Amino acid sequence: MTFRTIAMAVLGSMAALTAVAATHAAEIFPSKVVKSPAPVSAIEVDQAILPLLQKYDIPGMAVALSVNGKHTFYNYGVASKESGQSVSNATLFEIGSLSKTFTATLATYAQAQGKLAMTDAVSRHLPFLRGSSFDNIQLLHLGTNTAGDLPLQVPQEIKTYDQLMEYYKNWKPGHAAGTHRTYSNLGIGLLSIATAASLGVSYVDVVEKTLFPALGMTHSYIKVPARQMAQYAQGYNSDGAPVRVNPNVLADEAYGVKSNTRDLIRFLDANMGLLQLDAKLARAVTDTHTGYSKTGVLTQALVWEQYPGQAGLEQLLAGTGVTMSRESNPVSIIDPPLPPQADVWLHKTGSTNGFSAYALYNPARRVGIVMLSNRGLPIEERVSAAYGLLNRPATAAP
C-alpha cells in the first residue's frame, strides 16, 4: 500500500521571504510581471501522483513544489523494498540527465570567473584535441547539443578515458557545428571535462566541493560518501530488479548526480532568482537560460529546454518526444541569442536504469516542481503531471 507524507518548509516570515525573493527576481528578470500562482493542495498532488505509482509499480517517489519561495514536500512509498525505509525529502535519488544542468551552470560560472568563454573552441581547453574536429566546435555547441552528430551513448568498446579521448580526436561530424541538434551524453560529457580543465581540477571535485556548496546544496553528490549511503535509494529496473547506475565512462560527467528534493528545489529557486547568491554565480545561473537555437517548438538554452509561458502541454510533450531525443534535427540559430526570459517554462528530464527525474519551473510565476522516483516513469507522464500541477490560474500581484 502506498503512503504519503507531507512536509512544509517555510524559512522566516513568508511575507518577508516573498518580498525579498520578488525583489531579487526583478533584478535578474527586470521585464517580468510578478504573478501570484494559485495554491496547490495536497489532494491535487495525490490525484496527480498516486495513479502513476500504481500504474507503473513505482516503489517510491519524492515530489517538491516551490510556490513564491515556499516549499512543500510530498513523499510516497519506500526508498528500498528490501529495507522498507520510507522516502523522505532527504532521500537521495539518481537524477540522470538532470545532472547536465549542473554542467551548464559550472561552465557559465567558469565563464563569469574569466576561465573560459562559451565561444571558445573545445580544443583550446583540451590540447590533446588540437588538430581534430574540435578546433571548429565551440563549448557552446556542446552545451546546446549542436556539435554535430555525436552518439547518444558512449560506444560499448570504450572502457577508459584514454580510449574516449582517442575517440573524440578521430571523430568526424556528419553535420557542421551549429546546424543540427543531436542529444548526446558525449557532448555534455566533453563540456564537463573541458570546463573542469579550464578550472584546473577534476569535474567531480569542482562540482562537489565548489558548485554544490556555492548553491547551498548540502546533500548532493556524484560520489555518495559512506556516511550518506543509508539515504541512497535503491533503484529498480523495468523487471523490478534492484539496480544502481553503472560506473561507466562519462557516468560522472553526463548523468552522475545523486540528490534529494530539498536540494533540487533550492536549485530551482536559484534559477527563478529567488535566492541571494554570489553575484557571479547568480549571473552564471541566469546565463544558462539564454536561448541559442530553435528546433520545432523547443528553444534550446544551455542544457535547459525552454517554451513560452503560454505554451500548452502538447508543446512540452512534442519537445520531449523520441524525435527530439533520439534523432538529429535541423536548428534555426537565434542571432543574437535570446536573453533570459521571465514568463517561460524551462525543464529537464533525467533517467538511469533504475530512476527517473524531472524538473519544471517558470521564473515569472515563481513556481517550480521536482519529481524523483526509484523506478522508470515515462517522460510524458512526468511532464503531464508536473505541468498540470504548475500551470494554474494566476492573478497579478497587488
Q: Does any domain span residue 193? A: yes
245 with 174, same domain?
A: yes
Q: Does the annotation mark 97 as catalytic?
A: yes
Tell me the longest C-alpha to C-alpha distance in the chain.
Answer: 61
The whole-angstrom separation of Cα 89 and Cα 111 is 33
- Whether residue 79 sits in one domain with residue 130: no
Tell me how far apart the alpha carbons of residues 142 and 30 are, in angstroms, rounded to a whole number.
Answer: 29
For the chain, how many structural domains are there in total?
2
Domain annotation covers residue 8: no
Where does the chain have alpha helices with state H?
14-28, 42-55, 100-112, 122-125, 139-143, 161-170, 185-199, 203-206, 212-215, 251-255, 261-271, 279-287, 313-319, 322-326, 379-390
Q: Are strands 344-352 and 4-9 parallel, antiparallel or unpaired?
A: unpaired
- Whether 164 and 67 map to the same domain: the answer is no
Buried (b) or exposed (e) across 34-72, using 16+ Cβ within 10 A? bbebeebeeeebbebbeebbeebebbbbbbbbbbbbbbb
The CA distances from residue 274 to 19, 72, 102, 303, 363, in Å, are 10, 16, 18, 21, 9
Same structural domain, 111 and 58: no
CA angle, 255 then 261 then 265, to 5°: 95
- Of 97, 123, 220, 259, which is the active-site residue? 97
87 vs 233: CA distance, rounded Å: 8
What is each CA distance from 97 to 18, 100, 121, 122, 283, in whole angstroms? 31, 5, 24, 21, 23
Q: Which CATH number do you get for residue 121? A: 3.40.710.10
- Could you confirm whether 236 is annotated as catalytic? no
Is 9 part of a structural domain of the chain? Answer: no
**Are 49 and 80 found together in one domain?**
yes
Q: How many CA atoms lie within 13 A of 217 on its CB side?
A: 25
Question: Does residue 396 lie within any of the structural domains?
Answer: no
Spell out the per-residue pLDDT of the chain, length 398, in tens: 456 676 655 433 333 344 444 445 545 555 555 455 678 999 999 999 999 999 999 999 999 999 999 999 999 999 999 999 999 999 999 999 999 999 999 999 999 999 999 999 999 999 999 999 999 999 999 999 999 999 999 999 999 999 999 999 999 999 999 999 999 999 999 999 999 999 999 999 999 999 999 999 999 999 999 999 999 999 999 999 999 999 999 999 999 999 999 999 999 999 999 999 999 999 999 999 999 999 999 999 999 999 999 999 999 999 998 888 888 999 999 999 999 999 999 999 999 999 999 999 999 999 999 999 999 999 999 999 999 999 976 655 44
Is the domain of 78 the same as that of 218? no
Do 216 and 70 sit in the same domain of this protein? no
Specify if 123 maps to a domain: yes
101 and 221 fall within a common domain:
yes
In this structure, are 53 and 182 located in the same domain? no
pTM: 0.93
323 assigned to some structural domain: no
The reply to whether 56 and 121 lie within a common domain is no
Of 43, 73, 89, the position where a domain reaches its end is: 89
Residues 183 and 103 in one domain: yes
Q: Choosing from 36, 88, 167, 183, which is the catalytic residue? A: 183
Q: 74 is in which domain, residue-wise?
A: 34-89
Q: Is the residue at 343 inside a domain? A: yes
Report if residue 180 sits inside a domain: yes
Find, among 124, 96, 97, the residue nearest to 110 by Cα.
124
Together in a domain, 121 and 222: yes
Exposure string for 123-147, b = 16+ CB within 10 A, e = fewer: bbbbeebeebbbebbbbbbbbbbbb
Q: Whose grid coordinates read 521571504?
A: 17
Are the C-beta atoms of 147 and 249 separated by less than 8 Å? no
